[in-house]
Structure 1
Amino acid sequence: MMTVLGCVVDRHNIWLVALAVLVCTTGSWVTVRLFMKSSATRGVQRLGWHMLTAVASGTAIWCTHFVAMLGFRPGVPVALDPAPTMLSLLLAVAGATPGFVLAGSKRLRWAPALGGAMVGLAICAMHYVGMMAYRVQGIVTWNRTYLVASVALAVVFSSLALHAALRVRNGTCRVAATGLLVMAIACLHFVGMTAFQVEPVLLPGNFSNPEAWQALGLAVGGVALVIVAAGLASYLIDDSLRTESLERLRRMAMTDSLTGLPNRASFSERLDRELYLADQAGGRVALVGMDLDRFKEINDLRGHAAGDEVLRELARRMSALLQEGEFVARQGGDEFIAIHRLGEQSRLLDFLARLESAFFTPIRLEGYEVIPGASLGVAVYPDDAQEKEALIGNTDLAMYRAKSDLVNVACFYEPSMDEVVRARRTLAGELRAALEFGQMDIHYQVQTAVSTGDIRGYEALLRWRHPERGYIPPSEFIPLAEESGLILQLGEWVLRTACAKAASWNPPYKVAVNLSAVQFVHADLVELVRSILDETGLQPDRLELELTESTIFMDKELSLRILRQIKQLGVGIALDDFGTGYSSLDTLRTFPFDKIKLDCTFVSELESSPQARAIVRAVLALGKSLDIPVLAEGIETHGQLALLNAEGCDEGQGYLLGRPIPLRQIVDQGDLVLSAAHEARMRVFPPEVMLAGRRVDGSDAMSAHP
């Protein structure tokens, strides 16, 4: 026999006490983990975790008490009363629940300590109600000092346990909270049992059965461990599900939904890691930007579903070709970007060759094949840039150069590209200032009937004379205006100015104004045209808007709808640069243009090339069959004019007939007279005089090809 705090324990039943210690420690550890889990949740979910915590703790406390009691030997026969025994279990669970709820509240500063005290009181209630079920053959007395001490220790240690679980912010908080909760339960039991004193009164009969008590102790301990294990399992399952959910959300956030490739965010994270590794090891990293060449054409001709399938197939190909140290991501739209950990230059060239093969191998889609093609730009860290953003920017510069290179698919970054970009940015700023300070001007080029020389109208052409650089050709500043978005302001200014000037012309010739593709996408073009006509007073049939077929193909359905609305205003529509680009007969069939403008490249070869003459003859015949007049651009010689006249061309435009010149020079030549209150009548020079005065002599330094 041995004595523990005044309690006699049979050496043969000491394993029951050990089992009680195991249940107490394990249950306390699970209780702390469940309580900390509940504090990290909200709403109904938090209440559910609190209840699960209370069930685990109450069961552990109750089982600890009764397993230890089953191992306790008071020296007299004993028995258990079922009713108080079950009541003690309910008190343990029901009393601990509000304690954990209060401890988890964030409204009170001392809520964990107060809630812990309530849990300690629940432990005390369970213990002493359970002792009421402990029947002995003797007279029971209680030592009040030990009794009060047991309650005080249980309350204090429980309060400290929950406070440590929530307030201590270090790696030992769980261990400390678990140890304190074990102390609360152990102190209550052993100090409380020291207060329990029995004076034997032996009665005849077999009052207790030791073997049954051992079996009961084993059963209670087993059930306790099962319940505690269930609580732990629920914690682990929830934690696992949470981890899986977070990982799934992370994958979704870092993956492109269409292609399954890493997205821009994933690329940025990977590039940071690769640059860090390169700095640590003294290595180099190649960045490859990729932009599809014919993706828009695929979308326009085959539909967006086909375009999506092309992107998916390219993603599969690039994923399959990747080797160690290589990474590819989708930037958005039809742009991709790749990272190559650079070792030997030959490996980089091999990587580029594999990428090129992926882009230029035909893709079969529902009975037809497409070759998307791509332009690749390469920049190397740290050779071409020392910072991440600069590296990405230089890669883009190399890619844009590749798009304009008709020979090379891939281009490497060169420092001179920065100079070009800086120059373009400077010119873009100066272009904005030119519009603001009135440096832009409109020149007009005459359009005449080929057979008679009669003036049919004038095309308004935007010109820019820089105060320092002199004349800057439209081929240089118009693309820059489109890239910067300034084309909207320029286009509106040209349209409003040309209409205002033409409203005062006499005779009332037509004025033709070119439209940019950007105006179709970003502006309410129909309302703009209507408001300018109302504002300037120009008759709608005197305005002709010119656009290329590539403009229509940016969004064919939208463009044709806009053109029909413009035509309903009474404004004419001319198809410019016909013979280049798509030259789709379906476009002529779908929309009844008022004029076809034959591109100047065919007219320039008219006298020397039989093929050019055949094409011109075919276009003129097409125009007559569709009842659409044809205007030939770029007429520079009398031979070209004669051939066009012989083929039945309707109208002509070019240096031979008149160069683009400012409006004041046209007025001075007498081509038209501006309306004025003091003028008694209007006078127009005969057409033959007009033609006679326009020969190509190269003397007009202000003129330029439109």
Structure 2
Amino acid sequence: MPIVDFFFTSHAPGLIVLAATICLISSYACIGLLRHAHRSTGRMRNVWTMVAALAVGFGIWATHFVAVLAFRPGFTLNYDLWLTALSLLIAILVCGAGIAMAIRGTSAQDRFLGGAVVGVAISSMHYAGIAALIMGGSLDWNPALVATSIIAGISLGGLAFVTGMGGSLRRVVGGALLLTLAICAMHFTAMAAADFSRCFPLSVSGELDGFWLSIALTFISILLLALALGSSVLDEADRRRTARERERELRDAEQISAVTNKLGLAMTHMAQGLALYDAQGRMQLHNQRFPAMLGIDPGADLSGISFRETCRLTIIGTGEIPADLDERLTNVLDNHMPLIERGGDIVHTFSEDRVLQVSHSPIGNGSWVTTVDDVTERHRSQRAIAHLARHDGLTGLPNRARFNESFDWALAKAIENGEQLAVIAVDLDHFKEINDSHGHAAGDLVLKTLAARLNGLLREGEVVARLGGDEFAALKIFSSMDALRDFLVRIEATLTRRVESDGLTVALGGSIGVAVYPDDGRELSKLMSNADLAMYRAKAEFDRRICYYEHDMDEQARQRRDIARDLWTAVENNGFSLAYQVQKSVASGEITGYEVLLRWNRPGHGNVSPAEFIPIAEECGAISAIGVWVLKMACLEAASWPEPCKIAVNVSGIQLAQIDLIDTVRNSLFMSGLAPHRLELEVTETSIIGDKNRALHILRQIKAMGVSIAIDDFGTGYSSLDTLRSFPFDKIKIDRSFMNEVESDEQSKAIVRAILALGRSLSVPVLAEGVETREQLDVLRKEGCTEAQGFLLGRPGAIDWNDRLEPGLRA
């Protein structure tokens, strides 16, 4: 109550309001600048600390002296200049110390302590300012109120700093109000503690009168207002910057969280195993796939373990510790450490179902990233591709490339052990007929079954391969001929076993040719060529399945190659000629036509029999060109004859399989002008059976032109009645082999009689070939044969138009 009474009775109200306003402005500026300094760093923090100290120091000082001006002690007060200045300096410096303590503190206690120091500054400045009053007499003090004033300044100052350094604007205002209250409470309580009743005015030199003090206070008030406005602006800017920073931090936190979640999902679900190691080789990060792919216990804690320990756990896996663990671990580290330093990858094969590729990528600071890929399927595919590249896709046997490699291996081993090496060529008999009769699926089944059987009979030093189609090859390292013969017998036994599956029964057979290193050759190509020659000899001889290479086979092969070469030369240079053998009626002896026969006078060798060079022409492919030439020349010559005799031209099976034969016949007739009914084509039943539907289609097209079709060598091939039924042949020719003993052998006579009866029943004329005796002719006449040809009737050669009838054939 004394304080309240003193406040209202001893002060001018207007100046009191001014003092409170100055105090509030300075307090607000101090709290704002205090917060700004707290957010600053480095040198700027010191600058803003000094500015805040100036704001509150000037505010305390101005508040004090304005309040003193408002005090009415009953006489005029004057002030000592230096003590007044000292009081201002005390306010600024001590407040600066308290503000610095609050800014650098980390807790509320530190902030309270800083505010308490500012409270000390308020008290110190006040009593220094009272000491600056110039007056006489003695000033009495109330100790209780003095203590209350100091405690009020210290406690309220500490609370002001704790409140004002909070986050919101409300706390800024609250801190400013508390600091204002601290200054005012301390000042007026201290003024109430002083008793001026025994004091009187004095006048001394160096005093500061009220006018100049008012000027100074006005300047300070303006400065404080500016500082308050500046602190308000700074505080608003800080709030906006803080809001932006908080918004940016939230946004960054969201982005970091999203990236972290995505990274976590990616690492969890990525197909690779991934681990990050630091420069000391310690694991910093890994995903779930990493230990799972390496076979490490998924429950094991891998954080911080070394790369060496990772390798050790991989070797151990979930099983027992191997006895050679240290040795294996050393080998693994020796393989991986260079890759960790420079980067690279290595493939580890743990089992058939687990092949891993481990890659190391250095980061640059000594750390690295290790990734683990499961390449089991890729490795399996590569092995499968490599296997297919060296093995037959159908049978699984080694192919030609693998066979060549096996030969090199077998040859080196045979030489090393002083042994011999046999190269064996195997070819199935009549395999094409199996495909034609039962289909290609059956043919594939036969090949796979045969391959499995051949593969099952192999022993050490033996190899079997499929080179293509029905062509197989084998190798045998042997030291005695008995061992080689045993291997060949096993192959032969396999070739003759039947193949039975799903109602299909196929009887197999094959031909085997053998060439032996080094007697029959030193290179694979030479040995294979010689083995093929021996195999073809075995195929040609019906009573032999196995044939060894003989040196004269090379001579025969060379002769066949020379003949083939000369045949092509003859085709290019028109080196052939035609001969004609007459065909006559058995009953009347009249000429019914001529068979066209091919003749070849080989340069340097003389005339070569068609039986010798026609098979070679068929092998080398020259038969088609020769056939075209024969047909064209025969039609041209026949068209120039004075009488319209019929000609018969033989057509090979190869020609009959080609659709071009139709155009060849048509063009030959057109270019020569020969009437179609004067041309007769002779085909064998064997050539038709190869592709019956195709052959009969071609023959029907030719027959539609008006050309006659005769079936040649009837009785020696299939002699299928179905063939005669399927196509209306214009003539049947009995093969010459039945005429050799027809006059003395009843069986031959019976066959001829049967063929003639067949011809009569089908209304097809029959011509007998190879008639060389009058007895044979008499038999044919007696049995009712239509036509005949042979040496008895006329030898092949040029036609003598002056004498075209043999006297012995006249009626």
Which residue, 586, 607, 631 being the options, matches 1:471? 607
Q: Which residue number corresponds to residue 760 of structure 2?
A: 624
Q: Which residue number corresponds to residue 184 of structure 1?
A: 366
Q: Which residue number corresponds to residue 432 of structure 1?
A: 568
1:208-357 mapped onto 2 (5 Å cutoff): 231-232=371-372, 235=373, 237-238=374-375, 240-357=376-493
Matches of 1:576 and 1:538, distance apart in 2: 23
Query: 3-state SS of the aligned residue for 2:742?
Result: coil
Matching residue's letter, 1:165? G
Matches of 2:378 and 2:560, distance apart in 1: 52
Matches of 1:317 and 1:525, distance apart in 2: 44
Query: 3-state SS of the aligned residue for 2:367?
Result: helix
Q: Is the 8 A contact 1:533 1:540 kept in 2?
A: yes
Q: 1:610/1:485 Cα in 2 relative to 1: closer, same or farther (>3 Å)? A: same
**What is the CA-CA distance between 1:258 and the residue it aligns to?**
2.9
Q: Which residue number corresponds to residue 237 of structure 2?
A: none
**What is the CA-CA distance between 1:62 and the residue it aligns to?**
11
Cα distance per residue 1:340-386 (max 9 Å; x no partner): 12222111111111111112233346657442211110001122101
Matches of 1:161 and 1:366, distance apart in 2: 58
**What is the CA-CA distance between 1:688 and the residue it aligns to?**
5.6
Q: Is the 8 A contact 2:277 2:367 kept in 1?
A: no
**What is the CA-CA distance between 1:523 and the residue it aligns to?**
6.0
Q: Which residue number corresponds to residue 529 of structure 2?
A: 393
Matching residue's letter, 1:405? E
Query: 3-state SS of the aligned residue for 1:596?
Result: strand
Matches of 1:586 and 1:66, distance apart in 2: 86
Q: 1:494/1:65 Cα in 2 relative to 1: closer, same or farther (>3 Å)? A: closer
Q: Which residue number corresponds to residue 564 of structure 1?
A: 700
Q: Is the 8 A contact 1:488 1:523 kept in 2?
A: no
Q: Which residue number corresponds to residue 138 of structure 1?
A: none
Task: Find out whether 1:536 has 2:669 as its counterpart.
Answer: no
Q: Which residue number corresponds to residue 462 of structure 1?
A: 598
Which residue, 712, 731, 742 being the options, matches 1:606? 742
Deviation larger for 624-633 or 272-281: 272-281
**What is the CA-CA distance between 1:185 and the residue it aligns to?**
3.4
Matches of 1:258 and 1:161, distance apart in 2: 43
**What is the CA-CA distance between 1:65 and the residue it aligns to?**
9.0
Matches of 1:380 and 1:517, distance apart in 2: 37
**What is the CA-CA distance between 1:546 and the residue it aligns to?**
0.9
Cα distance per residue 1:447-505 (max 9 Å; x no partner): 11111112111110001123422221111111111111111111111010001111122
Task: Find out whether 1:667 has 2:772 as its counterpart.
Answer: no
Q: 1:166/1:626 Cα in 2 relative to 1: closer, same or farther (>3 Å)? A: same
Q: Which residue number corresponds to residue 552 of structure 1?
A: 688
Which residue, 471, 487, 493 being the options, matches 2:623? 487
Query: 3-state SS of the aligned residue for 2:427?
Result: strand
**What is the CA-CA distance between 1:332 and the residue it aligns to?**
1.7
1:562-601 mapped onto 2 (5 Å cutoff): 562-601=698-737
Q: Is the 8 A contact 1:575 1:597 kept in 2?
A: yes
**What is the CA-CA distance between 1:327 and the residue it aligns to?**
1.6
Query: 3-state SS of the aligned residue for 1:565?
Result: helix
Q: Which residue number corresponds to residue 354 of structure 2?
A: none
Matching residue's letter, 1:508? P
Q: 1:565/1:305 Cα in 2 relative to 1: closer, same or farther (>3 Å)? A: farther
Matching residue's letter, 1:667? D
Task: Find out whether 1:657 has 2:657 as its counterpart.
Answer: no
Q: Which residue number corresponds to residue 511 of structure 1?
A: 647
Paired positions, count = 485
Matches of 1:368 and 1:163, distance apart in 2: 66
Q: Which residue number corresponds to residue 165 of structure 1?
A: 343
Q: Is the 8 A contact 2:498 2:507 kept in 1?
A: yes
Q: 1:473/1:669 Cα in 2 relative to 1: closer, same or farther (>3 Å)? A: farther
Q: 1:534/1:267 Cα in 2 relative to 1: closer, same or farther (>3 Å)? A: same
**What is the CA-CA distance between 1:614 and the residue it aligns to?**
0.7
Cα distance per residue 1:111-141 (max 9 Å; x no partner): xxxxxxxxxxxxxxxxxxxxxxxxxxxxxxx
Matches of 1:513 and 1:54, distance apart in 2: 77
Per the normalisation by structure 2, the TM-score is 0.56
Q: Which residue number corresponds to residue 43 of structure 2?
A: none
Query: 3-state SS of the aligned residue for 2:706?
Result: coil
Q: 1:61/1:570 Cα in 2 relative to 1: closer, same or farther (>3 Å)? A: farther
Matching residue's letter, 1:277? K
Q: 1:272/1:454 Cα in 2 relative to 1: closer, same or farther (>3 Å)? A: same
Query: 3-state SS of the aligned residue for 2:601?
Result: strand
Q: Is the 8 A contact 2:577 2:600 kept in 1?
A: yes
Matches of 1:405 and 1:607, distance apart in 2: 31
Question: What is the aligned-residue identity percentage?
Answer: 48
Matching residue's letter, 1:185? S
Q: Is the 8 A contact 1:306 1:365 kept in 2?
A: no
Matches of 1:449 and 1:553, distance apart in 2: 30
Query: 3-state SS of the aligned residue for 2:569?
Result: helix
Q: 1:184/1:517 Cα in 2 relative to 1: closer, same or farther (>3 Å)? A: same
How big is the alpha-carbon RMSD for the aligned residues of Structure 1 and Structure 2?
Answer: 3.4
Rg larger for? 2
Q: 1:559/1:304 Cα in 2 relative to 1: closer, same or farther (>3 Å)? A: farther
Q: Is the 8 A contact 2:277 2:283 kept in 1?
A: no
Deviation larger for 254-263 or 449-458: 254-263
Matches of 1:485 and 1:632, distance apart in 2: 31
Cα distance per residue 1:29-77 (max 9 Å; x no partner): xxxxxxxxxxxxxxxxxxx99x9799936x545998996xxxxxxxxxx
Matches of 2:662 and 2:575, distance apart in 1: 28
Which residue, 253, 266, 274 being the options, matches 1:56? 274
Q: Is the 8 A contact 1:633 1:653 kept in 2?
A: yes
Q: Which residue number corresponds to residue 635 of structure 2?
A: 499
Structure 2, gaps ≥5 residues long: 1-265, 288-337, 346-358
Matches of 1:541 and 1:365, distance apart in 2: 52
Query: 3-state SS of the aligned residue for 2:388?
Result: helix
Matches of 2:438 and 2:763, distance apart in 1: 30
Query: 3-state SS of the aligned residue for 2:784?
Result: coil
1:405-420 mapped onto 2 (5 Å cutoff): 405-420=541-556
Matches of 1:362 and 1:178, distance apart in 2: 59
Q: Which has the higher contact order (CA 8 A, sep 6+)?
A: 1
**What is the CA-CA distance between 1:554 and the residue it aligns to?**
1.7
Structure 1, gaps ≥5 residues long: 1-47, 68-88, 93-159, 168-176, 187-226, 672-686, 694-706
Matching residue's letter, 2:681? L
Q: Is the 8 A contact 2:734 2:769 kept in 1?
A: yes
Cα distance per residue 1:290-333 (max 9 Å; x no partner): 11222233334444343333323322322222222212122222
Matches of 2:504 and 2:381, distance apart in 1: 42
**What is the CA-CA distance between 1:179 and the residue it aligns to?**
10
1:20-35 mapped onto 2 (5 Å cutoff): none
Q: Is the 8 A contact 1:456 1:509 kept in 2?
A: yes
Cα distance per residue 1:641-664 (max 9 Å; x no partner): 1111111111111111111102xx
